[in-house]
Amino acid sequence: MNAILAITSPVDEIILNIRYYFNHEMAITMAGRHRVLVGTTENYQLIP
């Protein structure tokens, strides 16, 4: 949460891979930032 608040501004979008830990999404939402969900391969590599 502190890292998100320290390095982003309210208009920023944060990339969140689809297989994520629920606290990551919760921190993004609580900070008022926008999340962008991106799919991953079976090796957890982002699909552009």
Q: What is the pLDDT of residue 27?
A: 94
Task: Quote the pLDDT of residue 9.
Answer: 93
Task: Give which of 29, 27, 25 is closest to 37, Cα–Cα.
Answer: 25
Tell me which residues of the chain have a pLDDT lower than 50. none
| pLDDT score, position 20 | 87
Predicted pLDDT of residue 23: 92
CA distance 12 to 19: 21
Q: Comparing C-alpha atoms, which of 25, 33, 26 is closest to residue 6?
A: 33
Which DSSP helix (H) or strand (E) runs through 37?
Answer: strand 34-38
The rounded distance, in Å, linking the Cα atoms of 18 and 7 is 22
